[in-house]
């Protein structure tokens, strides 16, 4: 989603009759537009899917760890690397059994 389109969507919030009495806040509109751009793209959609489904997130983690182990890295280090990637790239915690969005 392009920035201009995201800003248009954000501005529409103040046009809704539930919010029409509020003064438009340009900084808030910018923040909303940034969030829309982040979640509307393919990586944002993947992030949402991974956060919603712990088994799916763990599958990604396990595949990443296996790729790292294929390069000769020990199992525990590969799992830490996969967990770090999942946390940094997708904001999903996969370094324990109880997977929760990070």
Regarding predicted confidence, which is higher, 11 or 101? 11
Is pTM beyond 0.75 here? no
Chain mean pLDDT for the chain: 87
Predicted confidence at residue 96, as pLDDT, reads 67
Q: Which among 23, 51, 28 is positioned nearest to 7, based on CA atoms?
A: 28
DSSP letters for 16-78: STTTTTSPP-HHHHHHHHHHHHHHHSHHHHHHHHHHH-HHHHHHHHHHHHHHHHTTT--HHHH
Predicted confidence at residue 53, as pLDDT, reads 95
Q: Are 59 and 99 in contact (CB under 8 A)?
A: no
Can you tell me the mean pLDDT for 69-88?
95
pLDDT at 85 over 80: yes
Predicted confidence at residue 99, as pLDDT, reads 46
**22-64 residue pLDDT tens:** 888 889 889 999 888 877 888 888 999 999 999 999 999 999 9
3-state SS assignment for residue 4: helix
Please state whether 25 falls in left (phi above 0), alpha (psi between -120 and 50) or beta.
Answer: beta
């Amino acid at each position: 989603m392009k920035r201009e389109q995201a800003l248009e969507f954000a501005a529409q919030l103040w046009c809704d009759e539930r919010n029409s009495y509020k003064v438009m806040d340009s900084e808030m509109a910018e923040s909303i537009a940034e969030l829309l751009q982040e979640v509307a793209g393919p990586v944002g959609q993947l992030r949402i899917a991974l956060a919603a489904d712990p088994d799916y997130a763990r599958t990604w983690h396990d595949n990443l760890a296996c790729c790292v182990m294929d390069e000769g890295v020990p199992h525990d280090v590969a799992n830490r690397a996969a967990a770090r990637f999942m946390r940094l790239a997708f904001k999903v915690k996969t370094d324990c059994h109880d997977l929760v969005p990070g």
